[in-house]
Structure 1
Amino acid sequence: MAASSKAIMNILQPAKRRKLSSSSPSPTDPLNLLNKSLSAKSTSSDLTPDQITRIELNKLSAKSKRNLKLCSQLVSNSKGSSGHVKLEELLVEDTWREVLPGELEKPYFKNLCKFVESEISNGSVAIYPPQHLIFNALNSTPFNTLKAVIIGQDPYHGPGQAMGLSFSVPQGLKAPSSLVNIFKELKQDLGCTIPSHGNLEKWAIQGVLLLNTVLTVRNHQANSHSKKGWEHFTDAVIKTISQKKEGVVFLLWGNSAQEKSN
């Protein structure tokens, strides 16, 4: 989506990560040396700001696609055995695993895994989004790139709609009224052009975390997976962002999402 041909990442200021008590990285640490080298190359280059932005977006897009491919492979490999992947394995973005230490081992999350895996294995009712997209929001928006969070309720519950990103629908489907309202607000406040489709993947890779309060749902049964543990998990995600990031913009759309402000 564009605002005077600008990407969202140019409209939103990068969020600062809060300083933690851990020691600073060693000057001789390989990753630190690599970052210095890359920084030096960027400084000495003749790239324009727009070119630098495009390069960064291409890198983020490639990482998102890599995470999506990993999840798809996990699901594909599971079909010969249990028919489903262990839920916790589908969160493949390392930056989120690093800032949520132990969260996936807590009793509530273990119970949530059993419930969702049972629902998928049962097969009598379709579960959305597809398995490989359940953690798509986190897998598409690494913690270190986070600039804004748009919180929704639960996934769209019609066939082919849910893609693991709040309010987003695949290109070719009509944009839901809730998303149209978001577009209208952006146009009014920032002068953004309203897109011709409702696929928000580009927002996600630019640092907008499109997080639903509940990450799964039964076919045509809104809120059917609420109060099963997802709320605890997404609360933990939001708490982590609040504690470890500064300057992140939160948009809470709908009553269920607004409860997160408490």
Structure 2
Amino acid sequence: MSIAGHYGDNSLGNTGSVVSLVEGMAGWCQAVQGAAPFRQGLKAISTGFGAKVATLVKATKTQDGRIRSISVDLQRNAQNGALDRSFADLILGSYITNAKVGSVWYASMAAHADAPELAELRNRRNLAETVVVVLGQDGKWVYLLELHFAHRLSSGAGAMITSLSDTLCQTWSGRSPGIFSESLLDRQPENLNVTLAAPLLSDRNPAGLSRAEFRVCLMLTHGLSRDAVALELKISSSTLRSHLRQIYDKSECRNLNDLLRRLLLSGHQPSTSAQRTALTQKYVA
């Protein structure tokens, strides 16, 4: 059935229309292929579906449960602030690591639909439904598109999202390499996701750095070059490259410059001298 046939009188929202939906899908495709800023694509898909917030979610498939997210919040204002976290883990629960690609999940039908976090979100932002589309999986990560609506979705609107989920997934599978990491790095410090906002070298260790990886980052924040880091830590250049690859992956960085920028933006040192001393003893001694 055509888009117009699915759409009918079942508007996806006050901003929804066949034209905006087509434009939204086009904007999404351009952004995923790297022809436009990714946040612009998220805004387009949010407007097209009539959602108030669109979030791209990257969740680890390992037991540490790390979740990273990029959001475009059309409801953001001084009173609300920006929605800067994902609720996909509450909606999918344990299925988040193995959900079928292309499947569509609704907060109103989730086992954790009464979770305090979701209830608080609905009340504070006047949102009625959250929909999660499973975009894809690879060896380490699950990628999801999370849409927040200010109204309940009609059966026609739900059918529309389901019918377009395959297109969303196909375009995501052909995405430009590195667009997620680049979008994370484009954020201003005050808008960083709460999972990533903690300094890399804080006691929260948000990236899950190993002891060796922590040491490397610590040396880099002291201004040492790669050769100097290898010499200081008494490791080979190949070992250092291996550590750096792991650090880049865990911290969503593409290269050394990105890592140094991340350390600088998030604040690389613990907040107090006592914390700095404790961490140095924990990871370096």
The alignment's TM-score, normalised by the length of structure 1, stands at 0.29
The alignment's TM-score, normalised by the length of structure 2, stands at 0.27
Whose radius of gyration is greater, 1 or 2? 2
Q: Point out which structure has higher relative CO (alpha carbons under 8 A, 6+ apart).
A: 1
